[in-house]
């Protein structure tokens, strides 16, 4: 019998809004979105899931959300309860939190015309997006990121997930949000570590794609580190712009093994686990970027002068370049991290290195001895700083 072949395309469109005072009654950003989105004739509902850490800073948020949605009329109805969950990586490690969201989706009748809205850092958004994506084979979700990291990177992308069996993002989906709302004023809730942490992703994307953006970060490093809001707003917008452009023009659902936006991440993911997530994701990424930049020099790609510029920027922003866990157990843990990253990619290792600032290049092999030398280089750099 003749073989049947199927082929189709599904378009995805979503907007990333930049604003301040998102739930101020005078702010029409969300109101305009709901009035223009979707088909008429359905009773749409909204279920909010909020990061408890953010709510502790912003205790009036639930009342503000309720008051704002009361002005929306029949456009969308807020369900009676707002779910509050602990944020941070712990949110992705506890299956009970996933169950709680799914149970609420069921209890309040959140169907495919309704919305699950996550408010918080990247971990909460990952969890909420995953729960929404697997409920009813996919209900709509909206992201309201509250950290630098999630506003300029994870919150604007298409991936969701939770951790499983000790592996980061082992369970997950590619399910784009229907909208992302970045409120700059929400960043005031961050301590200095979390303010800084997201900037690592800007360094990453600049190093592999845009020399001019790296030079801008280089020139504005002190202003970024000292919480200049105007400078941070530009950094977030440009970084988000580059991330969505990459998703649009590349391999959005990662059918291949190419993961250029994971520059510096293979070591970062392992370092997070080795420190029991005491180190922030962005802090781990900064170290991972430093490690892969040194390795790029070791294999004759990147110049020493450019390496020093990279390391200087990372340090000027307040990041460490090294963590003792990198060298622990004769660096076997780090080698295991590389193996796990290969498995995550489907068996073929693809790592992004640097030919120069603004120019990334993919390789499919890494020399374990040279990785060890790169770790030793960073350890020596770290030790000299301690003695100075």
pLDDT tens for 9-24 read 888 889 999 999 999 9
Hey, which residues does 374 pair with through a beta bridge?
none
Q: 128-132, 219-223, 231-235, 270-274: which range is least confident on average?
A: 270-274
Q: Is 19 exposed, middle or buried (0-12, 13-18, 19+ CB in 10 A)?
A: middle
CATH number of the 15-189 domain: 3.40.50.1970
pLDDT digits (tens, 9 = 90+) for 43-76: 899 999 999 999 999 999 999 999 999 998 888 9
**Confidence grade of residue 386 (pLDDT, cut at 50, 70, 90):** low
**Confidence grade of residue 195 (pLDDT, cut at 50, 70, 90):** very high
Determine contact, residues 263/206, Cβ cutoff 8 Å: no
Average the pLDDT over 258-274 and give the result: 81
Every domain of the chain and the residues it spans: 15-189, 192-387
- The percent helix, strand, coil of the chain (3-state, each to 5) is 55, 15, 30
* Neighbouring residues of 81: CB distance < 8 A, sequence distance ≥ 6: 104, 108
Average the pLDDT over 343-350 and give the result: 71
Average the pLDDT over 84-107 and give the result: 93
Q: 141-150, 180-189, 375-384: which range is least confident on average?
A: 375-384
Determine contact, residues 42/110, Cβ cutoff 8 Å: no
Query: pTM score > 0.85 for this model?
Result: yes
Class of domain 192-387: mainly alpha
* Dist CA 354 CA 303 (whole Å): 10
For 60, phi and psi rounded to 5 degrees? -90, 0
**Nearest by Cα to 182 from 147, 210, 207:** 147
pLDDT for the residue 345: 63
* Neighbouring residues of 331: CB distance < 8 A, sequence distance ≥ 6: 371, 372, 375
Neighbouring CB atoms inside 10 A of 216's CB total 17
pLDDT for the residue 347: 65
């Amino acid at each position: 019998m003749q073989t049947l072949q199927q082929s189709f395309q599904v378009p995805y469109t979503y907007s990333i809004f930049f604003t301040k005072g998102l739930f101020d009654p005078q702010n029409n950003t969300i109101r305009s979105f709901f009035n223009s989105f979707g088909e008429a004739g359905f009773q749409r509902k909204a279920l909010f899931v909020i990061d408890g850490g953010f709510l502790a800073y912003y205790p009036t948020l639930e009342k503000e959300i309720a008051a704002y949605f009361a002005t929306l009329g029949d456009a969308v109805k807020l369900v009676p309860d707002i779910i509050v969950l602990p944020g941070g990586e712990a949110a992705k490690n506890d299956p009970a939190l996933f169950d709680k969201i799914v149970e609420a989706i069921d209890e309040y009748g959140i169907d495919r015309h309704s919305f699950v809205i996550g408010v918080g850092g990247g971990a909460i958004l990952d969890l909420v997006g995953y729960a929404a994506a697997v409920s009813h084979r996919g209900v709509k979700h909206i992201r309201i990121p509250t950290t630098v990291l999630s506003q300029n990177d994870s919150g604007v992308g298409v991936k969701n997930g939770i951790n499983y069996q000790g592996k980061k993002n082992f369970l997950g989906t590619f399910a784009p949000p229907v909208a992302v709302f970045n409120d700059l004023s929400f960043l005031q809730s961050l301590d200095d570590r979390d303010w800084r942490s997201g900037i690592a992703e800007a360094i990453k994307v600049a190093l592999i794609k845009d020399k001019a953006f790296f030079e801008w970060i280089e020139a504005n490093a002190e202003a970024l580190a000292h919480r200049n809001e105007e400078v941070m707003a530009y950094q977030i917008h440009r970084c988000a712009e580059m991330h969505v452009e990459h998703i649009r023009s590349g391999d959005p659902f990662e059918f291949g093994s190419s993961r250029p936006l994971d520059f510096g991440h293979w070591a970062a993911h392992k370092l997070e686990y080795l420190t029991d997530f005491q180190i922030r994701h962005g802090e781990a990424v900064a170290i991972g970027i430093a490690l892969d930049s040194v390795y790029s020099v070791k294999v004759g790609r990147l110049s020493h002068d450019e390496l020093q510029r990279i390391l200087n920027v990372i340090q000027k922003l307040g990041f460490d370049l090294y963590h003792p866990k990198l060298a622990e157990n004769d660096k076997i843990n780090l080698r295991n991290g590389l193996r796990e990253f290969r498995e995550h990619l489907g068996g073929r290792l693809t790592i992004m290195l640097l030919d120069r600032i603004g120019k990334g290049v993919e390789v499919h092999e890494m020399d374990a001895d040279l990785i060890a030398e790169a770790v030793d280089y960073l350890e020596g750099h770290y030790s000299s700083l301690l003695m100075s």
